[in-house]
Amino acid sequence: MPALTKKFTLTDLRAARASGMKVPMLTCYDFTFARLMHRVGVPTILVGDSAGNVVLGHENTLPVPLHFMIQLTAAVRRGAPNALLVADMPFGSYHGSVGRAVRNVFRMVQLSACDCVKMEAAQTQLAAIRELSDAGVAIMAHLGLRPQAVGVLGGYRAQGRTAEEAMRIIDLAVAMQEAGAASILLEAVPAEVSAAVVEATSVPVIGCGAGPACHGHVVVTHDILGLTEHPPKFAPPMGDAATPLTDTFVRYIDQIGSGAYPTAEHGYGMPTSEKVKLAEILRKHPLPAPAEAK
C-alpha cells in the first residue's frame, strides 16, 4: 500500500461503511512504529491502553495513567500525521462523574492531537458520551469484552455468547449511537452479535475478534508480529519479528565481547595538531591516579 498522502478522516470511515470497503486498524505506541505504518498507508491507528501489557509489562491495563497515554498518542501523531488516530482513555480517567470524564477527554484531545477517543463504555458513560459528542469530540464506544472490567469479568472472556448477553450488547450499541458515539468497537463477541450490531446501527463498527460483518478490524500489533507469548486466537500471525530482533541482540553481544566493536570506523577523529596539544598538556599536567574503589 502507498503512504497516506492525505488525511484519513471519520468521513472516510463512514464512507467505507457505506461502500463495503473493509478498513484496517493497528495498535501503535511510539513514533518509530507509527512512521512505518504511515509509510505503508495504515489508515487508522489505535493507541491502546494495551500499552500497559506490551510496553509496561503489566498483567492487565488497569495501572496505565492518563499522562502516559497522552504522551504515547502525541508521539504516534507525530509519526503518522495523516492517519485517523484513536486514543484510548485509560482506567479511572472517565469514571466517577460526567465532569471528570469531560475534563480528561478534553485534556487528551488538546494535548495529543488525536482525532477520536475510545472509551470502554457501559450505561454509566452515556451521559458523558452525550456531552462530549455535543462538544464536538468523536467517541468510539468499546463494547463486548472490556479489558478494564477484568476484575468484574474474572478474566479475559468472550462476551455475548448467550442470547441474553447478546441482546444487552446490541441494545447498548444502539444506546451509544443515540448518545452520539461516532463509532463502535466490538471485542471478542460472536459473529452473530457483531452482525446484529451492524444491522441495528448506522455508525462504523470496528471488530476486535468480532467476525466479518464489521466495517474494520483492529489487532494488537505486537500480537501479529510474534512479540507476545500468548496472543489471542483472533490475532493472525503475520510475521516473526522476534527472531531477527533476538539474533541482532546476540550479534551485538558477541561483537562487544570479542572486541570486534567498536573499531576506528565507529569513532570520531581528532586533528593531528590537537592531538599534539593534548599530549603536551597531559605531559605538563599529569592526571591524578584514580582513587581506589571502596
**Residue-wise pLDDT tens digits, 101-134:** 999 999 999 999 999 999 999 999 999 999 999 9
Q: How confident is the model at residue 1 (pLDDT cuts 50, 70, 90)?
A: low
Beta-carbon contacts of 172 under 8 Å, excluding residues fewer than 6 positions away, are 121, 122, 123, 143
255 in any annotated domain: no
CA gap 249, 228 in Å, rounded: 18
291 in any annotated domain: no
Cα separations in angstroms, 114 against 46, 108, 134, 170, 264? 10, 8, 17, 27, 45
129 in any annotated domain: yes
140 in any annotated domain: yes
278 in any annotated domain: no
* pLDDT at position 170: 98
Residues annotated as catalytic (active site), given as ranges: 187
The total number of structural domains in the chain stands at 1
* Phi, psi of 45, rounded to the nearest 5 degrees: -130, 135
For the stretch 52-63, pLDDT in tens is 999 999 999 999
Which pTM was predicted? 0.93
257 in any annotated domain: no
CB 156 within 8 A of CB 209: no
* pLDDT at position 293: 63
Helices 163-179, 126-134: crossing angle, 10 deg rounding:
30
214 in any annotated domain: yes
Q: How confident is the model at residue 153 (pLDDT cuts 50, 70, 90)?
A: confident
Write the CATH number for 158. 3.20.20.60
For the stretch 207-247, pLDDT in tens is 999 999 999 999 999 999 999 999 999 999 999 999 999 99
227 in any annotated domain: no
Q: What nine digits make up the cell of 7? A: 488525511
Its domain, for residue 93, covers 10-219
Q: What nine digits make up the cell of 65? A: 495513567
